[in-house]
Amino acid sequence: MSRLQPSRLIEHEEALDHALAALLEANPALQALYTIGGRPPLRKRAPGFKGLAALIVSQQVSTASAAAIWKRVEERFPALDVADVLGSDDATLQGCGLSRPKIRTLRAIAETVDAGQLDFDRLGTGSVEEAFQSLVAVKGIGPWTADLYLLFCLGHADAFPAGDLALQEAARMGFDLPERPSAQTLTGLAEAWRPWRGVAAKLLWAYYGAMKRRIGEPS
């Protein structure tokens, strides 16, 4: 069980409703975006090595391709743990559809966990910043992946993937900005949403999808 404060975890629908209410009460300007986008989905993933691996697999490929590759991974390794990755050669992993860069990243994560340098349980004992730094210290894990893991797998309500292009575009449209904000600019805007930045991200994604549907583009 995670040791983060329960009020800072978004692990179930009731927690999401509570967090949304707190976010909107503190930030009335977000109400217009919420009205358009509606209640965002929880989208909770399993934590731990397998959850992080699923995020790695989904990077830089279409949703359909990611699902197909992950299906092959699960068929070959139903539990997918550190031992599975460390005990498999590249040919076996490539046979699941994994690219060489993703194999290198998964091996780096597995080796770091095996060496005791990354403890998934301990990621839930400190601040989101501390957990973020522990993840990006592993070769191959970038800021976007770290934030998504903290938000969707760990359920941290204050994780915020400012480098996500959809979030940046949602902010541009929602706040009538002259151009899409950079990750740094969006991080600055998100300061007002603490300690619910992760909930704000969910709201912005929902708003982005709704706006894309309005103009007839795929979300």
CATH of the domain at 95: 1.10.340.30
Single pTM value for the model:
0.88
Q: Of the residues 121, 153, 185, which one is the last residue of a structural domain?
A: 153
User: 78 pLDDT band (50/70/90 cuts)?
Assistant: very high
The pLDDT of 137-143, averaged and rounded, is 94
If asked whether residues 131 and 202 sit together in one domain, one would say no
Overall number of domains in the chain: 2
- Its domain, for residue 119, covers 49-153
The answer to the question of residue 219 being in a domain is no
Per-residue pLDDT tens over the stretch 87-128: 999 999 999 999 999 999 999 999 999 999 999 988 877 788
The answer to the question of residue 1 being in a domain is no
DSSP class per residue in the chain:
---S-GGGB--SHHHHHHHHHHHHHH-GGGHHHHHHH-SPP------SHHHHHHHHHHTTS-HHHHHHHHHHHHHH-SS--HHHHHTS-HHHHHHTT--HHHHHHHHHHHHHHHTTS--TTGGGSS-HHHHHHHHHTSTT--HHHHHHIIIIIS-BTT---TT-HHHHHHHHHHTT-SSPPPHHHHHHHHGGGTT-HHHHHHHHHHHHHHHHHHTT---
CATH of the domain at 195: 1.10.1670.40
Q: Has residue 57 got a pLDDT over 50?
A: yes
